[in-house]
Every structure is written in C-alpha cells, then in structure tokens.
Chain A
C-alpha cells in the first residue's frame, strides 16, 4: 500500500508493515477526496478517517462515490485496511463461496446454504450455536439482527427486484458464510440474483440517516420497510456491498469480537461497495 504523506503517524503505529503488500493500492485521508463537479475519486484508493459518524460515512460514500472508506479504530486499523485491500486486489474472488476477508489466518467458519423463506429460524439457531463459541450473548443478539435483514434481502427483496428489472434467473442458491477472523466475525450473505442497486441502497441509507428512521420508513404493505440497510450498518463495524449484476449479490458485515457492546458501538465504521 502506498500511504499519503499525511498519514505517517498512523502508519508508524501499525503493527504490520503494509507498505510492502498491495503496492497498487493508495491510502489517502478523506480530505484528499477531489471536490468540484467534474472531480472523480481515485479507483484504487482507500480513503481513511477516524472521526466520522455513521451518517457522515454514508454521506461521503454516497455523495462522493467513494468505493472504499476505512476508519481507524485503535487495535484494528491494520486488519480493516487488509480487509479493504483483499477485496480491492481481486474483487472477483470476493464472490467465491467461503471467501475469507483475511487470508492469512486459519479460521473457524460455517457455511449455510438456503433457498426458501421457511428456513430462517433454523438458520438463526445454527448461527447462534456458531457464535456462542466466540464469547458473548450480546454478540449473538447482534448477529441475529444482521441475519434477519440479510435473509430478507436475499430471499424476498432480491428476487422481487430482479423481477422488476426483468433479469433472468440463472439458477443457484443463497448462502450465509460466517468466519471467525480473530478479532472480527465476518457474516456474508450471497444471493444468485445480482439485483442490488448499490446507488439506490446507499441513497436509502443516506435518506434514513438524514430524515430519521421514523420519517423515512416505508409504511406501505408492499416492499420492505427500507430500514434494513441501516440496521445492518448500525450492527457492524464495516460493511461490504458487492454485485455482479444479473448474477450475484454478496453483502458482508464485519462485527468486532472480544469487545463489550459499548466498545463496539464507539467504533468508527467502514463502508465498501463495488460492481464487477
């Protein structure tokens, strides 16, 4: 990684030397994001900060089309940068089944394939069992909230959106993949529709944060409530949206482990999105 000169003090605190890996990836402070109507963010760039609130993260990503925004949290900046770089380095690999966000570690993982709307409670029970081995009932509750929303997205929202867009279903099943990354839990959900509109998703998150959930909620009987995107983000320290249009959507939430609820909620969040 090539770090901007203004990040020297942050780089010096990293426990591992990331400058020797992923040499094509730039890391720049968010203040370096170009402004102006014709300005374009750099494609192979991770923009970093350490003080953005969740709404500010979403606003930056949505309005400036930043694809990778990582925030520095004490003790995990290197792993969050590594997660970003792993995804950027070979985005096609992100979509592989059982793809781990941190490659070097041997991880305890669990894969669940599903395809129908009546499997949710069984999946939640399996996930709770897996998570119980990583300390904390509060972690299990957080993961359950994430599973609820990802499941609905994959089983209900994705095929509905695909139908609206006239996409032809290529076949396939949905998959949850959980991996203990030692310090983080990766919760990925993949569906075989590839109908997620990332701009619409991010725009919706921005709207919920700007207007408030109570004002922005979709109270009509059709469609989702439109809050799931923010519920996912609020329960994670990082979120990755990847889409192969017409073929696959994969959403990943990264949750810190070995921490209290308060420590998790005080962490600054990262957000990534891309289409392949």
Chain B
C-alpha cells in the first residue's frame, strides 16, 4: 500500500470519499476531481498525518466541488486543527458532521479519542453537554483540548 489510499463511491451526483494514510507533497488528487457532484461526503477517520503541502493540495482539491454540499466525517484532531487554522480547508459551504476529541486522565496518563457527532454532542448552535469519559480504571477523564481554540469551527 502507498502512503495514502482514496476510495470514491459515486451514486448519481452524490460522492462518498474515504481517505486514509498520509496527505503530503506526494499526494495526487487529480484522479478524484469532484466536479459534477451535488453532495460530497468525506470520511477522514483513517487519515494519519497531513503536512503543509498536503494542506495546499487539499484546498485545491476540495475547491473542485464548487457549490456542492460538502460534509466531513470522523475528523481526527490533525484535521480539526487544519480546519481551525487554515481558512478554506473546510469550504465555506462545508460542515463537519463528526470529529474526534482527545480526552486525558491526569491520574493514569491515559488518552482516548472520543467521536463527537452532530445532533448528539454538538448541534448547529454549538457544543452540547460533553459526554462523561472514563479510563480503563473507571476514573473520569477530561477533555484534553483548549476549548475556545478546538471548537472554534463550530461557531462559524
């Protein structure tokens, strides 16, 4: 397997894209143009890393969706960080439908990534009451993010 893998399922003008691996200077999005789509679902749960060149290629690629509805699913933290840092990484008409939030236990040092889904942990109005997350010893863990920074994209 190469550094990344792309899967595109097309049903009429609805595109469902799954991306895994590393998005970097070697990524080639040209076989996966989104022109003609009216809706694009992008599943990102298996993305492992993205660098600055990958960010640039991403923005060019997602731009080919034009005015199509764009939705991102299962965004790992590295993707959420880019959504917050780089305007255009999530297009203006795009929405995040689910994303991961890191949790941390001060006692045990344990880390967990918890999936937040629209309609449950957040809505269009913003974050709802966050879930209680426990480590393997049953101790409560804390959200391990600077909330004003991490959830900034929810306010747009």
Q: Which residues of A contact B (CB under 8 A)?
A: 120-121, 124, 135-138, 141, 144-145, 148-149, 152, 156, 212-215, 217-219, 224-228, 231, 234, 260-262, 265-266
Contact = CB atoms under 8 A, between A and B. Distances in A.
Given A152-B52, A152-B53, A217-B55, 8 more contacts: A120-B24, A138-B144, A152-B51, A213-B85, A219-B56, A262-B142, A262-B144, A265-B145
B97 interface: no
A226 B52 contact: yes
B24 A148 contact: yes
Interface in B28-86: 48-49, 51-53, 55-56, 59-60, 77-78, 85-86
Interface in B81-130: 85-89, 102, 104, 106, 109, 111
B12 interface: no
Contacts, number: 84
Contacts of B60: 219
A136 B146 contact: no
B22 interface: yes
B106 A219 contact: no
A102 to B, nearest CB: 23
B7 interface: no
Interface residues of B, number: 31
B139 interface: no
B149 interface: yes
A217 B86 contact: yes
A75 to B, nearest CB: 15
Quick one: which of A120, A215, A234, A261 has the most chain B CB within 10 A? A261
Given A138-B111, A217-B56, A265-B149, A228 B87 contact: no
B10 interface: no
